[in-house]
Every structure is written in structure tokens, then in C-alpha cells.
Amino acid sequence: MTWEWWEPGWSAERFALRQAYADPDRKSADGNYVYSDEDAVAVVRCTERGERRDIFLTARARNGGIPDADAMEKFIVAYRDEFLRSDPCADQ
């Protein structure tokens, strides 16, 4: 798991492909997260609260992990929900 501040306007899919070097083949209906058998990326939109940057969360299951897209989706959704509880946008 990693997270980082990033410039506004990027989608989870664009960040996954260009910055996280992930190759998601599935995405949520709202576009807040994308995932595959081994990777997942979610966005936390701090710019919607007037901040200058957004936060991107990246999860990877590699090097001996068992590829499982359903597990990656459940994990990134649960992690994003818990991450939001800490009010991360206030830390900018």
C-alpha cells in the first residue's frame, strides 16, 4: 500500500496507468477506483473541498500473492473508506 498527493484532474485510471504502473481492467461505476487481479488504485478528491491536490491510494499483491480481482476490489474499497475516516484532506 502506498498513497500520495497528486495534481488535480487525474482519474484513478489515468493515475494507475501513468504513475502507479498498474494495468487495471475493471473500474467502479463512479470512477473512484480501478483494479485488476494484482493492482488497485483509488482517488480521494480533496479538490472538491477546496484543496489544491488529490490523494491516490495504490495497492499491489505481487511476488507470491494469489491474483484475485474480487479481493483487490474489496480491499481498495475498505481501505479507501477507512482512509477517509481520518480526514486526510485536512493534512495538506
pLDDT digits (tens, 9 = 90+) for 24-77: 999 999 999 999 999 999 999 999 888 899 999 999 987 777 889 999 999 999
Spell out the domain ranges in the chain: 2-86
Band of residue 90 on the pLDDT scale cut at 50, 70, 90: confident
Of 58 and 92, which is predicted with more confidence? 58
Whether 10 shows a pLDDT value over 70: the answer reads yes
All three cell numbers of 75: 480491499
pLDDT at 92: 59
pTM of the model: 0.91
Nearest to 53 by CA among 8, 91, 4: 8
Whether 5 shows a pLDDT value over 80: the answer reads yes
